[in-house]
Structure 1
Amino acid sequence: FGESVGYDNTAGTNHYHMPLLLFVIQDDNIKSQIAAQALISNETAESYQWVLHITKKATQKRVPNIFVIDSDPAMKSAISTEYPTTHHILCIWHLKENLKKMLHEKLGPTFVDFYSAFWRCHNSDISDLFYYYWKELIENYPAANQYFQKHLYKWRKS
């Protein structure tokens, strides 16, 4: 593996409706390369852990610094088990798509302002500033609070 690994799962789009896991790295020429792939029968922590274990063996136990993942708790658990020193961060594309899917309708016409405020918070480089903007989001967009607390707050350090 390289310094960072991007993970994505094509959920059931093949003939057998099995998840195809893709692990992508950047090579020395800053080009994306598929480092590993696997077809699995289910999306459990145990299945992911098995894939990561086999991949670790195939890469001479090289450990990436960062894993970029979607918000799947099973994959997060598997990474924590197989690569306990690797930091996992939430994929920006998945974050954007989930914000739109989960909050656009709920926030209605205020979504555009919310979206801008969310990214200001997300891109804060200083912890105190992040928490200041987070508090503003909670106060200004109470309809989003349940989604924030259940799905996003645990990812705040990524």
Structure 2
Amino acid sequence: MPLLLISGVNAMELPHVKHQLCVWHVEQNISKNLYNKLKDKFIAFSKDFKAIVIETSVEQFNIWWDCLLTEYTEARTYMIEQ
């Protein structure tokens, strides 16, 4: 229960702070959920994903993101819903 209280306090005290995710944790979840779906394509997907997440241009990120989802259709549902 303390986590809920702390989360509520953070939301009240810092309403304009954006939630950020740790890339390491995101990559762990991707490995766990997509390795078996992508099989032989997983290593290439992982390299492409890592290149995209360090992109600093929003426009370029969006272009590469669309390419990633087009190239790896097996990953599309997971990547969009998560």
Q: TM-score, normalised by structure 1?
A: 0.47
Structure 2: how far apart are the matches of 1:148 and 1:97? 13
Unaligned runs of 5+ in 2: none
Equivalent residue, structure 1, for 2:20: 89
Structure 2: how far apart are the matches of 1:80 and 1:51? 9
Number of matched residues? Answer: 82
Matched, 1:98 2:29: yes
Matched residue SS, 1:97: helix
Q: CA RMSD in A?
A: 1.9
- For residues 16-43 of structure 1, the C-alpha deviation after alignment (integer angstroms, 9 at most, x for no partner) is xxxxxxxxxxxxxxxxxxxxxxxx4xxx
Equivalent residue, structure 1, for 2:73: 142
Equivalent residue, structure 2, for 1:50: 5
The structure with the greater share of residues assigned to strand is 1
Cα distance, 1:133 vs structure 2: 0.6
Structure 2: how far apart are the matches of 1:131 and 1:52? 30
Q: Which has the higher contact order (CA 8 A, sep 6+)?
A: 2
User: Where does 1:24-103 land on structure 2 (aligned, <5 Å)?
Assistant: 40=1, 48-52=3-7, 79-103=10-34
Matched residue SS, 1:84: coil
The structure with the greater share of residues assigned to helix is 2
Q: State the 4+ residue runs in structure 1 displaced beyond 6 angstroms.
A: none
Q: TM-score, normalised by structure 2?
A: 0.85
Structure 1: how far apart are the matches of 2:21 and 2:12? 18
Matched, 1:117 2:72: no
Structure 1: how far apart are the matches of 2:4 and 2:14? 10
Unaligned runs of 5+ in 1: 1-39, 41-46, 57-78, 152-158
